[in-house]
Structure 1
Amino acid sequence: MRTSILALVLTLLSIAAPDVAPAADRPTVVRIGVAAVGTGGRPVSGWSYSSVVAANGSLENELKPDGIEVRWIYFSGAGPAVNEALANGQLDFAFEGDLPSLVARAGGLRTKVILAHTRFEPTYVAVPADSPARTLEDLKGKRVAVFKGTNLQLALYRVLESKSLKDSEFKLINMSTNDGNAALLSKDIDAQVSGSDVFPLVERGVARIVYSTQGDPRLGRVSHLLVTEEFAARYPAVVQRVVNSVLRDAAWLADEANRARAYQIWTKSGFGLPAWKGDWDSFVLRDRASPLLDEFFRVQYRRLLDAARGLRLVRKDFDVDQWLDATYLNRGLAELNLARVWRELDSDGKPKAPPTGASAAAR
């Protein structure tokens, strides 16, 4: 009799809450690392669609009904610090640049790249405004600051190689971009390798750009959203929900009508409009901030891995195509009907021709 009553109770409970997943099917917290900080180390960044997701609270709104907390963690130590946190089991997802994640994956850190985040990211070399230097070659033998271990380091080495220059011809100094900007102002260094953060200094007339990779997609930096293999294996449904939520904000950013608003969101990092206008105005939003793991993104990562190995920044080879996992991306694009928002780019970063028979609207 007791057995029958117990069975009846269990049956009624299962009928009453058919859509409630067991607690083991979802985590209590999702931890997202960002390999960037704002000015003064503030926990916010201006970085493609990730900053839009954080500003909108999109993931919080998606996961809160299930009691899942979202924790954003910003790292002043950039990619190397993100890698350390991943290795210590302190993160589940991370927005990170190319070189640190290549080093980590080659070193055995089990991750999967599930979305592209940026591509074509320019690298700038700036000098004090009154510097006599006019070209990269003029900086031979000079003190040049670069944030080693980040994608800026690999980008600089690839630039030097493209111009038949060697890193040994320069006095390279390891500095974060924030410290490098300060050192540039005080003239404790002769040049700084940086990203968009250099433009406020240029706007103020205290710095001048002597070299930029703008216009050369192959020399551009890339970044992505990755997930640990452990988290993905344990909570695949949560990973899909994260991807879908992120894709919605990425689609918002792909609309040129939202460019001005995006710049305003990014200024919360402490870097003003000159930083974003100088770095982004010459790019098509839906291409630079595309989440697609397309031909360009895959080929670019192979180029970067080859370059990093050649420079002995990465010791081991691995299969890039296995690491870049489009499973969640493709499912999200189909579920949200977003497949036509972004353009597939070829290995040179140029839009591919639409499939034969595609409608004019699709073009």
Structure 2
Amino acid sequence: MRKLFAAALAATSMIAASAITAGPARAADTVRIGYWTSGVSLGYGSVLESKDFLAKRGINAEFVHFPDVNAPLRALASGSIDLAFGAPVAGVFGTAASGVPIRIFAATQPADVQFVVPKDSPIRTLAELKGKKIGMSPAGSSVAVIAGAILAGNYQIKSSDFSLVGGNESRLAQFLVQKQVDGAALRSVTVAQLGDELPVRRLSSFAEEWKKLTRSDAVPYIGVGAVRAELVEKQPEVVARVIASLRDTLAWGNTHREEVVQILRKKANLPEDDARTYVSLWNEMNRVAFEPADIATLKRQHAVFTESGLVKGDITDELFATRPYQLANGLK
């Protein structure tokens, strides 16, 4: 009886493995993938679309572009897309807490963000941002929520104590040039791209401030992979193959940097210098991970966000769909 059970279990495992690894030999599964065409997502998404990593894994990808950072979440909620590889963490927490059936399947974008002011600014510390205008990604974005939690937790600057001026990265740079904001929370790649055009002085980083706030070495995430609950529950192997494709893209980009530069120039319309700066920070900005430590960091973020009053509602372990990631670990 025990031998019969072991044989049946082995056969089941072989069938499951075959279903996942069959890839292009089977009919491709269509997955509607949405992303924000700015910030970190623009560069990574451009490479993902330009190469055939998804097709090689048996995924027929239909890409949907959004000009607003929170739009992919609304599209997930309405069923207009199936998956977003860089959904804002804070928005995912709030959306899930409201009862929308979505799941997180990977942590994808570390918060590689810096607080900066114009080089000639009299402001020297984050504490001096009280009562000032601060440029950052729009309200509700992960950057805005993390920045708010840091200012409140480390410097007692509440959201009502400063003016949030929202915009995409290029717009925020313009605000700094035109002195329409006193400081800004910008991604490291944007700060590097500014170069001599806009000399800025760095005050601190999200990583440094988060360490101070949480007394941990973990770096918070601004973006995660989010998926409709129905897809991840009924077809976890499909999501696993998407995860494998995201990893393929990440690895290829790291070893083919010159080709990535050309893709960004052509598809993302980035000047060559900006494209090279983006590529130089490829591994710092992009990630495909969902280990226990990553989930613990995300849970810590939710706790900090809710304690600060920046995100409302509880989440459960059900939000973190680990099965596809585990299946993806078995793919070659």
- TM more than 0.5: yes
For CA contacts below 8 A with separation 6 or more, give which structure has more relative contact order.
2
2:181 aligned with 1:186, yes or no? no
Partner of 2:73: 83
Structure showing greater Rg: 1
Answer whether contact 2:108 2:286 (CA < 8 A) is retained: yes
Look up the SS of the partner of 1:112 in the other structure. strand
Answer whether contact 1:185 1:206 (CA < 8 A) is retained: no
Aligned partners of 1:55, 1:218: CA distance in 2, in Å?
32
User: Which residue of 291, 295, 299 maps to 1:298?
Assistant: 295
Aligned partners of 1:295, 1:203: CA distance in 2, in Å?
41
Partner of 2:229: 229
Answer whether contact 2:192 2:277 (CA < 8 A) is retained: yes
User: Which residue of 52, 57, 72 maps to 1:57?
Assistant: 52
2:156 aligned with 1:156, yes or no? no
Partner of 1:332: 328
Look up the SS of the partner of 2:226 in the other structure. strand
Look up the SS of the partner of 2:103 in the other structure. strand
TM-score by structure 2 length?
0.75
CA deviations over 1:144-186 (Å, ceiling 9, x no partner): 1222111111211232134233133323333333322221111
Structure 1 letter corresponding to 2:77: A
User: Which residue of 110, 114, 124 maps to 1:124?
Assistant: 114
2:204 aligned with 1:211, yes or no? yes
Cα 1:332–1:181 shift into 2, 3 Å: same
Answer whether contact 2:237 2:327 (CA < 8 A) is retained: no
Aligned partners of 2:229, 2:198: CA distance in 1, in Å?
47
2:168 aligned with 1:173, yes or no? no
Answer whether contact 2:106 2:290 (CA < 8 A) is retained: yes
Unaligned runs of at least 5 residues, structure 1: 1-18, 337-363
Aligned partners of 1:258, 1:97: CA distance in 2, in Å?
28
Partner of 1:73: 64
Structure 2 letter corresponding to 1:189: V
Cα 1:325–1:198 shift into 2, 3 Å: same
Cα deviation for residue 124 of structure 1 reads 1.4
Answer whether contact 1:32 1:91 (CA < 8 A) is retained: yes
Q: How many pairs are equivalent?
A: 293
Cα deviation for residue 56 of structure 1 reads 1.4
Aligned partners of 2:129, 2:154: CA distance in 1, in Å?
13
Cα 1:75–1:151 shift into 2, 3 Å: same
Aligned partners of 2:37, 2:57: CA distance in 1, in Å?
24
2:132 aligned with 1:142, yes or no? yes
Structure 2 letter corresponding to 1:152: V
Cα 1:228–1:27 shift into 2, 3 Å: farther
Cα deviation for residue 140 of structure 1 reads 2.5
Cα 1:241–1:220 shift into 2, 3 Å: closer
Cα 1:129–1:46 shift into 2, 3 Å: same
Aligned partners of 1:103, 1:306: CA distance in 2, in Å?
12
Partner of 1:248: 248
Question: Is the helix fraction higher in 1 or 2?
Answer: 2
Unaligned runs of at least 5 residues, structure 2: 1-18, 212-216
Cα 1:172–1:222 shift into 2, 3 Å: closer
Aligned partners of 2:168, 2:177: CA distance in 1, in Å?
14
User: Which residue of 99, 102, 119 maps to 1:108?
Assistant: 99
CA deviations over 1:196-222 (Å, ceiling 9, x no partner): 323222442443322223454545334
Aligned partners of 1:183, 1:252: CA distance in 2, in Å?
35
Aligned partners of 1:162, 1:258: CA distance in 2, in Å?
41
